[in-house]
Amino acid sequence: MTTKPQDRVLIFDTTLRDGEQSPGATMTHAEKLEIASLLDEMGVDIIEAGFPIASEGDFKAVSEIARQSQNAVICGLARAQLPDIDRCWEAVKHAKRPRIHTFIGTSPLHRAIPNLTMDEMADRIHETVSHARNLCDNVQWSPMDATRTEWDYLKRVVEIAIKAGATTINIPDTVGYTAPRESADLIRRLIEDVPGADEIVFATHCHNDLGMATANSLAAVEAGARQIECTINGLGERAGNTALEEVVMAMRVRNDIMPYETRIDSTKIMNISRRVAAVSGFAVQFNKAIVGKNAFAHESGIHQDGMLKNAETFEIMRPEDVGLAATNLVMGKHSGRAALRSKLEDLGYELGDNQLKDVFVRFKELADRKKEIYEEDLIALMRTATDPEEDRIALVSMHVVCGTEGPNQARMTLNVDGKEQSTEQTGDGPVDAAFNCVKALVPHEARLQLYQVHAVTEGTDAQATVSVRMEEEGRIVTGQSADTDTVVASTRAYIHALNRLLVRREKGGSDKREVSYKDVS
């Protein structure tokens, strides 16, 4: 019996660029390098590492990712302006396989922003794509808001970009407006009608505003697109982007009707999903497809009975296929250092001896307070690890008095730049009182944008994972911590974010975006 040949679909990950545009999802330099390395290891074909002209921080991150990449094409984004393209090339040229991705908004609404006529925009597209191709032999071009661009004009500018040297044409559904049938028809008509379309790769880039990003991307592939642009966990502005894990597993599980293959090692999906959630501060919803906490959980009696008799009754893929351990072994205070190292390695964490020593101390502290420690507890423990440069402020001690009568009180001692300082403050609740203590000892004008609490596991002794997002003068930072005491976890998460904010201040705002994506004039 012969097997039908599998068409190869390229996976273009833009977690570090489009994903980071989510308000509050800004990552540190070290975090960007770590995520890029994980993407490279899992088999992503193209990594869009950032928008080099946006800020000095973005430029440095893209440059270093380009240098460290082993397998993936490293791509940078550039507006349809020659300085943008030159800056992008300077950042990606160190990669083994560099790519320049340039774009301009082609719909009537987007053409109005730079106030260009159709002919003027067409000339600019030819000029900028030609310039990019003279620098790099791998050039991607995107007509932003393509799905709301007039058909005749879209066809015209795609032909211009191909003739100017673009090797990949990306068709973005920038505002998540299209539907699967439209997505497929658009790709199919471009391939059939545009001269030279058979010599380049068509890509699809879908947003999830109407909840159809994955369906739209797969429909485009069936119509002839051979590159999907996506992000880990579907991270992205507004409702997010196509989720990498969804399209990869959809093509794998339903390979009978979608005979396509990718280079993605799906067993690495859960690890990178957890890591992106941790560094971005965006928790994965419990019922999220593939990577949600409940994706492989079964509570219904009928479902549980079926699972016991045959797992395939209610599971279309195995947990191991996406990197979940077959069993969630419980650890406790009698577990040794070797067992902890082994378990962390199973979860995707490779630790040096000094790192393991620090984590083991915190593991023992947790084990003294919590009888059973599950995988989720260990992941939460790893998320609380801080960068040494972000340790300006540390919690020494805290005592909170709360109840239904009178204001809640908190007494706190912090170590600030090596000196211990104490204060006592009141608040509307114990967390508010604790945050007021921190602000009294470390004055700042940052605004608290987000405060989220999630139980890591079940039970009254469960750890609480707290995420905090703060903003000051355009700088957005996130902090996370976990503890069996919710107030302690909240305070440490707040301090974690504040430490990051102090680092940003000292860098002079190098991570702040200095230009607008829509500033295309």
Cα–Cα distances (Å) from 189 to 183, 192, 258, 377, in that order, read: 10, 5, 20, 51
The CA radius of gyration of the chain, in Å to the nearest whole number, is 25
Question: What DSSP letter does each residue of 204-247 carry, written as one string?
Answer: EEEB-TTS-HHHHHHHHHHTT--EEEEBGGG--STT-B-BHHHH
Distance CA 322, CA 249 (A): 9
Distance CA 139, CA 204 (A): 15
Compute how many other C-beta atoms are within 10 angstroms of the C-beta atom of residue 394: 15
Q: Which two tokens stand for residue 270?
A: 């859960």
Q: Which two tokens stand for residue 132?
A: 């990019």
Q: Which two tokens stand for residue 12?
A: 């273009």
Distance CA 484, CA 187 (A): 52
Q: Does residue 406 sit in helix, strand or coil? A: coil
- Is 18 part of any known ligand binding site? yes
- Is 444 part of any known ligand binding site? no
- Is 271 part of any known ligand binding site? no
Q: Which two tokens stand for residue 86?
A: 């030159």
Phi, psi of 373 (to 5 degrees): -115, 120
- Is 241 part of any known ligand binding site? yes
The amino acid present at 108, given as its one-letter code, is P
Task: Select from 141, 137, 130 the least CA-distant residue to 101.
Answer: 141
Residues forming a β-bridge with 227: 10, 203
Distance CA 165, CA 183 (A): 24
Distance CA 148, CA 204 (A): 14
Q: Are strands 73-79 and 419-427 parallel, antiparallel or unpaired?
A: unpaired
Phi, psi of 82 (to 5 degrees): -60, -40
Residue 419: exposed, middle, or buried by beta-carbon count in 10 A (0-12, 13-18, 19+)?
A: exposed
Annotated binding residues for Mn(2+), as ranges?
Answer: 18, 205, 207, 241
Annotated binding residues, as ranges?
Answer: 18, 205, 207, 241
